[in-house]
């Protein structure tokens, strides 16, 4: 990566090239767009950051650029690439099923109601086996006033499947309840995900059998007296994690400071630190270590609650990465090969021969899932889409690398330079991911020519309206006129999408910044001012 002081790097090419050092004072009406952007990134609070900007017309004609060919960490801007490939190759109307099946000769309708064998919960990569309400509804469109929204049951679809099993007349299951995660190779964490992220819901492990976003809600509240332990509650349907420690209650004058810790492979969650007296309840999402096992445990408890006796245990099965499902580094596909080597629906699901299907849950469409993925920047959903891309071309694989191989072929077909991007995951949580602003702008331009564009654009957060942009660009003229994907990872930030400009025309933009100072939002503020400058100038 080439690092350069923003004020000394190549400046925007809108109009005549700038030959003098950029001014640091606020822009005035006499400045061209390139001069305004150069002045904004030369402000003292952000001048040491690494900035990249690319602005084009919808047809791809360049308008303005700054370090557009240099590489940046895209953070969640990587989801633009994953979801575009998914729209193009999986198709917006594709759905995925979760099934409960049993092998053996007994029938669920026998008068005895005995199933002699294991009941297997087979995951096929449905990201929405949860209580999420779909399709996605913008906060602005939800009821206002005193209308209460009933709390969602994160396991509601699993409950419905348990009802289906009970309705078949099942009274006894002689075997185990098995959570089957074999549809994809067992790769819970893509390359270079931080070990710290594995504790939290946004870093939840990837599993073909995913349940409630593979996370549990942890609520922490201060006590009533100074020095007293507060309240800590983990919402888990079955005993899974053990809580240790707690939060102490401190004075209001001291800032709240809490830490949640879980070592890899451990079922112990430690909470320590303090909360200011009178502060509001803090709610966090804790990642589930083995989602397939948790789903099996929860399903077993649901069946037993419905009067079904289960003789065995709840457990998970995985397909570990090995020679049979490993894709060598450097494997490449052409676009013609991607289109011709496989169709997802021909791929076998699960590792068990099915003699009786007891329950089925069909998930929402790829279109609906991509809307959630982009609006709220859902990492797990992006990773599952990437695995589905791999499964599309390599039925025996469905691995991260297989998905990235398919995605790369798609991006090259879209006209993006082969050296302008490299991905190690689908969500952007990997620190190894790198892209250029011009690659992102090119992807955004290519999408405008595709039949799935309207659905894909509608999945992007809207300025001042919803998703990760609900509280940004909340005032005219930008409110409701910015459709863009955010990205934040460590000291990197990105914002890329479509902008309705003052002239009435829509432009494409990609703004990326790296190496900003930790603990500051100065780069985000400068980024938002750049967006405003683009809108006003165009």
Quote the crossing angle between the two packed helices 291-305 and 156-167, to the nearest 10°: 50
241 lies in a domain?
yes
What local confidence, expressed as pLDDT, does residue 11 receive? 41
Q: What is the DSSP letter of 518?
A: T
Mean predicted confidence (pLDDT) in 224-245: 93
Looking at residue 348, what is its pLDDT? 52
Three-state SS string across 45-78, please?
CCCCCEEEEEEEECCCCEEEEECCCCCECCHHHH
Does residue 330 belong to any structural domain of this protein?
no
Average pLDDT over residues 217-238: 92
| 187 lies in some domain | no
Give the strand pairing for 172-173 and 114-115.
Answer: parallel
The least confident of 155-159, 187-191, 275-279, 472-476 is 275-279
Q: What is the percentage of the chain residues whose pLDDT exceeds 70? A: 87
Question: Is the per-residue pLDDT at 421 higher than 80?
Answer: yes
**Inside any domain, residue 416:** no
The alpha carbon of 183 is separated from its chain's Cα centroid by a whole number of angstroms, namely 20
Helices (H) and strands (E) in the chain, counts: 11, 22
DSSP state, 24?
-
Domain end marker among 265, 287, 309: 287
Q: 26: which DSSP letter?
A: P
pLDDT score at 347: 55
pLDDT at 324: 61
Sheet holding 506-514, edge to edge: 62-66, 50-57, 506-514, 492-500, 482-489
pTM for this model (two decimals): 0.91
Cα 421 to Cα 435: distance, rounded to the nearest angstrom? 4
Read off the pLDDT of each residue in 442-450 and give the average, rounded to a whole number.
98
Domain with residue 68: its CATH number is 3.40.710.10
DSSP classification of residue 355: S
Q: What is the pLDDT of residues 332-349, one digit of tens each?
A: 888 888 877 544 435 555
Residue 18 has pLDDT above 80, yes or no: no
pLDDT in tens, 351-386: 555 578 999 999 999 999 999 999 999 999 999 999
Residue labelled with tokens 């060919």: 69
Q: Is the pLDDT of residue 25 over 50?
A: no
Structurally, the chain folds into a number of domains equal to 2
* Cα(479)–Cα(489) distance, integer angstroms: 25
| 124 domain-assigned | no
42-91 per-position pLDDT tens digit: 999 999 999 999 999 999 999 999 999 999 999 999 999 999 999 999 99
Alpha-helical (H) ranges within 90-195 are 156-167
Does 479 reside within a domain?
yes
Please report the pLDDT score of residue 16 as a whole number: 31
State residue 27's pLDDT score.
42
What is the predicted pLDDT for the residue at 107? 56
In the structure, what pLDDT confidence band is assigned to residue 397 with cuts at 50, 70 and 90?
Answer: confident
What is the residue-averaged pLDDT of the chain? 88
Give the pLDDT score at 190: 93
Reported as a pLDDT band with limits 50, 70 and 90, residue 19 is: very low
Task: Give the Cα-Cα-Cα angle 401, 331, 181 (nearest 5 degrees).
Answer: 30
Domain residues for the domain of 65 are: 1-72+436-538
Domain boundary among 270, 287, 304: 287
| Residue range 458-487: mean pLDDT, rounded | 97
Lowest mean pLDDT among 35-39, 151-155, 431-435: 151-155
Greater model confidence, 287 or 117: 287
Averaged pLDDT for residues 303-327: 88
Encode burial over 406-438: b for 16+ CB neighbours within 10 A, e otherwise: bbbbbbbbbebeeebbebbbbbbbbbebbbbbb
What was the pLDDT predicted at 14?
36
- Residue 64 vs residues 4, 278, 281: alpha-carbon distances, Å: 18, 50, 46
**Confidence class for position 330, pLDDT limits 50, 70, 90:** confident
**Residue 407 belongs to some domain of the structure:** no
Count the Cβ atoms, other than its own, within 10 Å of residue 445: 18
Q: What is the pLDDT of residue 396?
A: 67
pLDDT at 289 over 70: yes
**pLDDT band for position 200 (cuts 50, 70, 90):** very high
Last residue of a domain, one of 272, 287, 302: 287
As a whole number of angstroms, the distance between CA 177 and CA 311 comes to: 9
Candidates 38, 1, 3; CA nearest to 21 is 38
Prior bond of 135 cis (ω within 30°): yes
Residue at 491 is within a domain: yes
Structure tokens at 229: 């332990």
**DSSP secondary structure code for residue 200 in this structure:** B
CA neighbor of 424 nearest in space, from 124, 89, 195, 189: 189
pLDDT value at 7 more than 50: no
Residue 278: per-residue pLDDT:
87
Q: What angle do CA 367, 75, 51 make, to 5 degrees?
A: 125
pLDDT in tens, 484-501: 999 999 999 999 999 999
């Amino acid at each position: 990566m080439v690092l350069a002081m923003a004020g000394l790097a190549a400046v925007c090419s809108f109009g005549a090239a700038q030959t003098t050092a950029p001014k640091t004072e606020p822009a005035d009406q006499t400045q061209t767009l390139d001069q305004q952007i150069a002045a904004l990134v030369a402000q003292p609070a952000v001048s040491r950051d690494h900035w990249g900007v690319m602005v084009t017309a919808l047809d791809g004609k360049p308008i303005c650029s700054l370090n557009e060919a240099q590489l940046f960490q895209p953070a969640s801007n990587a989801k633009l690439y994953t979801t575009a490939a998914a729209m193009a190759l999986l198709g917006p109307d594709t759905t995925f099923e979760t099934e409960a099946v049993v092998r053996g000769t007994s029938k669920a309708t026998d008068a005895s109601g005995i199933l002699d064998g294991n009941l297997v919960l087979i995951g096929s990569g449905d990201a929405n086996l949860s209580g999420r309400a779909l399709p996605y509804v913008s906060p602005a469109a939800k009821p206002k006033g005193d209308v209460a929204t009933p709390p969602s049951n994160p396991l509601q679809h699993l409950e419905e499947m348990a009802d289906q099993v009970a309705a078949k007349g099942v009274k006894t299951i002689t075997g185990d309840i098995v959570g089957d995660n074999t549809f994809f190779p067992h790769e819970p964490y893509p390359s270079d995900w931080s070990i710290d992220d594995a504790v939290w819901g946004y870093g939840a492990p990837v599993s073909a059998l995913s349940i409630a976003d593979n996370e549990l809600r942890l609520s922490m509240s201060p006590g009533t007296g100074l020095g007293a332990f507060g309240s800590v509650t983990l919402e888990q349907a079955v005993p899974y994690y053990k809580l240790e420690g707690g939060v102490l209650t401190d004075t209001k004058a001291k800032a709240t400071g809490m830490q949640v810790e879980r070592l890899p492979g451990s079922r112990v969650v430690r909470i320590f630190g303090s909360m200011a007296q009178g502060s509001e309840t803090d709610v966090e999402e804790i990642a589930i270590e083995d989602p397939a096992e948790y789903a099996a445990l929860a399903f077993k408890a649901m069946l037993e609650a419905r009067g079904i006796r289960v003789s065995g245990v709840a457990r998970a099965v995985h397909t570990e990465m090995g020679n049979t499902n490993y894709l060598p580094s450097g494997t490449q596909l052409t676009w013609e090969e991607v289109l011709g080597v496989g169709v997802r629906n021909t791929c076998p699901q699960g590792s068990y021969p099915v003699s009786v299907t007891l329950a089925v849950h069909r998930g929402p469409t790829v279109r609906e899932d991509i809307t959630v993925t982009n609006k709220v920047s859902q990492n797990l959903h992006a990773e599952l889409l990437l695995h589905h891309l791999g499964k599309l071309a390599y039925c025996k694989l469905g691995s991260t690398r297989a998905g990235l191989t398919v995605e790369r072929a798609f991006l090259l077909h879209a006209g993006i330079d082969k050296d302008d991007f490299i991905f190690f995951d689908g969500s952007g949580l990997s620190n190894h991911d790198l892209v250029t602003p011009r690659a992102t702008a090119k992807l955004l331009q290519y999408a405008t020519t595709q039949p799935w564009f309207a659905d894909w654009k509608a999945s992007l957060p809207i300025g001042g309206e919803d998703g990760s942009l609900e509280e940004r660009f909340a005032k005219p003229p930008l409110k409701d006129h910015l459709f863009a994907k955010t990205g934040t990872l460590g000291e990197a930030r990105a914002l890329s999408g479509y902008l309705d400009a003052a002239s009435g025309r829509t432009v494409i933009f990609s703004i990326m910044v790296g190496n900003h100072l930790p603990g500051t939002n100065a780069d985000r503020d400068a980024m938002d001012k750049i967006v405003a400058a683009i809108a006003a100038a165009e």
